[in-house]
Amino acid sequence: MDNRRRSPLDHNHGSVTHTSCDHNHAHQCLDVSGPAILAGESHVHNSENWVVYEHGHAHYYQATSGPSMPTANGWHVHYWDFYTTVNDGHRHHIKGLDMPAPGV
Ligand SMILES: [Zn+2]
Ligand SMILES: [Zn+2]
């Protein structure tokens, strides 16, 4: 019997990060993901949004997280790794962990 508490599918995750630095600038990326989507034994999240408009332009992204990764307190996080759209002749890379949500 699995005594880990599964997370409800109606949870989502926030994250506060910066894009990679390209063309001598980065953008703030303040994300709220979509709800969980079952994926095998785990779940993933989709997200799409604009990064913060800075330096005269913004970039759009559509991304899917990695599977649920348990944290020490029984919650979980996801790893994200994706590229924004090309705007103003360049794009940015975004990667890192989001904020924890209850369950695994
Ligand atoms: Zn840019
Ligand atoms: Zn999740």
pLDDT band at 6 (very low <50, low <70, confident <90, very high): confident
Distance 10 CA to ligand 2 centre (A): 9
Helix ranges (H only) for the chain are none
Region 33-61 average pLDDT: 97
The answer to whether position 37 is within a domain reads yes
The ligand whose atoms approach the alpha carbon of 54 most closely is 1
Whether 56 is in a domain gets the answer yes
CA of 29 to the centre of ligand 1 (A): 11
Does the pLDDT of residue 3 top 50, yes or no?
no
If one counts the domains in the chain, the total is 1
Residue with structure tokens 């993901």? 33
Indicate which ligand has the atom closest to the C-alpha of 58: 1
Gap from CA of 102 to ligand 2 centroid (Å): 8
Q: Which domain holds residue 90?
A: 14-97
In a domain, 9, yes or no: no
Which ligand has an atom closest to residue 71 CA?
Answer: 2
Determine the distance separating the centroid of ligand 2 and the alpha carbon of 14, expressed in angstroms.
10
104 falls within a domain: no
Within-domain flag for 47:
yes
| Span between the terminal Cα atoms of the chain, in Å | 15
Residue 102 counted as domain residue: no
Structural domain contains residue 93: yes
In a domain, 7, yes or no: no
For the CA of 22, the nearest ligand: 1
Among 22, 21, 24, 34, smallest CA distance to 80 is for 34
